[in-house]
Amino acid sequence: RRELEQKLVSGELLAVVTTDALELGIDIGQLDAALCITFPGTVASLRQMWGRAGRRGRGLAVYVAGDDALDQFFCRHPDEFLDRPVESAILEYENEQIHLSHLTCAAHEGPINPDQDAVTLGPRVRAHCEALVAAGVMVERRGAFTLRAPEDFPAARVSLRSASPDSVSVIDVKQGELIGTVEAARACSTVHDGAVYLHMGRSYSVSALDLDRREALVEPFNGDWFTQPKQETDTWIEQLQDSRQTLGVKLSFGRVVVSEQVLAYQRKRQPGNEVIDINALALPRTSFTTQALWFELDELASGLPLDVLLGALHAAEHAQIAVLPLLAMCDRWDIGGLSTNAHSQTGVPTIFIYDGHPGGVGITRQGFLRFEQLVDDARRLIAECPCAEGCPSCVQSPKCGNLNEPLHKAGALELLNLMQAAGS
């Protein structure tokens, strides 16, 4: 990295192609232009990339859009690159697994006194320390908690990429080496038998997934197709934490249990997305508890026939998931959703949007707090897309467990317009 910076400063290098690795921490005042290829995920990130150029004079910033929903949204609203507030950074201090990991690391640095440290470590510090004692990780001496094994270095086991301690190792059988890990909760949908797994820009074919040993065996893949899982998803409301009436719907936030089962996977040609075939899988149902927002569209949905309603709810869910990263610093792959014409607990048409990480990391909490903006962004995304029946730039999702069926673009726009009208 430093060598590249020096060569850019000296003029030996006239240009460099990079990931977002050079987004921060680089001070090269002579850069004339910054070209960003597709939307990097957040407005904050894009501004940092553009900010690499023109620091000591005039500069040029170029944005080359892809066909993703957010790319097309900003193509139609380029002013929002500079005018829109940057996304809210998410700091979820209530995730139990994250808190337990933090306490373990803190205990490595010094004894934890719950009465004194609750100010910085939170009100549940004593309960969680006692849980760690029960798990054999900590011991309590004279009212303070320390690690049972002081020589242990717990930070080495805390992932910066995942809140969950449970992961599946991805092993390249040709090289006999570990190339990555996948959250256990995502293993069935990401590294199932036959899946094409992308890692560090390289494709691998999954030859076997062993859930008992927590291993996925892969080998390099050079084919012209990719895979997409088909899965069945259910949600169960475990705890209602907040609710309000807005935009003609009952909006709620709380803790839900998400259960998923991958039933099959689809092979699709690349490029072109032509479907090659669908292959059945026999995988167990998995579940995790997380945070979610959900809203009930009882009266607003009553005017749509059932065949339109199912696709309309589904398309509206996809559009909201697509634009939620505009409000919270996340990726659409961090979010899941479910839409149904009659949920088992609400009894009415309901759309769920949930954090895709066990315990929740605060993404949908931000969506709940800024729900009106979320609905407006989704409505604009659909209304301004020139396609007739829905496309990857508006209501089709690359991660849809139902393989983007059914979707009804016009019905989704009607629902969102009705919500907007009810709030005005």
pLDDT in tens, the chain (424 residues): 778 878 887 888 888 888 777 777 666 667 889 999 999 888 988 988 888 888 778 889 999 998 889 999 999 999 988 888 888 888 777 788 889 999 999 999 999 999 999 998 988 999 999 999 999 999 999 999 999 998 889 998 887 766 666 789 999 999 889 998 898 888 999 999 999 999 888 999 999 999 999 999 999 999 999 999 999 999 999 999 999 999 999 999 999 999 999 999 999 998 878 899 999 999 999 999 999 999 999 989 998 999 899 999 999 999 999 999 999 989 888 999 999 999 999 999 999 999 998 889 999 999 999 999 999 999 999 999 999 999 999 999 988 999 999 999 999 999 999 999 998 7
Quote the pLDDT of residue 5: 79
Q: For position 25, what pLDDT does the model report?
A: 64
Give phi and psi for 117, each to the nearest 5: -95, 0
Residue 206 is predicted with a pLDDT of: 97
Superfamily of domain 2-83 in the CATH hierarchy:
P-loop containing nucleotide triphosphate hydrolases (3.40.50.300)
Q: Which fold has domain 96-157?
A: Arc Repressor Mutant, subunit A (1.10.10)
**Would you list the DSSP string of 119-176?**
HHH-TTHHHHHHHHHHTTSEEEETTEEEESSTT--GGGG--SS-S-S-EEEEEETTTT
Return the domain boundaries, the chain: 2-83, 96-157, 167-223, 227-423
Token readout for 94 is 């209530």
Residue 171 pairs in a beta bridge with 178, 217
Distance (Å, whole) CA 243 – CA 245: 7
With CA atoms as reference, report the closest residue to 323 among 311, 335, 312, 307: 335
Convert 193-222 to b/e letters by CB count within 10 Å (16 or more is b). bbbbbeeeeebbbbeebeeeeebbbbeebe
Give the three-state DSSP class for 282: coil
What is the predicted pLDDT for the residue at 408? 97
Q: What's the confidence (pLDDT) of residue 28?
A: 66
Residue with tokens 């892809």: 66
Quote the distance between the C-alpha of residue 206 and its chain's center: 23
Beta pairing partners, 219: 205
Rg (alpha carbons) of the chain, rounded to whole number: 24
The answer to whether residues 167 and 178 touch, using CB atoms and an 8 Å cutoff, is no
Q: Do domains 2-83 and 96-157 have the same CATH topology?
A: no
Task: Provide the pLDDT for residue 165.
Answer: 67
Residues 6+ apart with CB under 8 A from 260: 188, 189, 231, 232, 233, 234, 285, 286, 287, 401
Residue pointed to by tokens 């996948």: 182
Give pLDDT, residue 135. 94
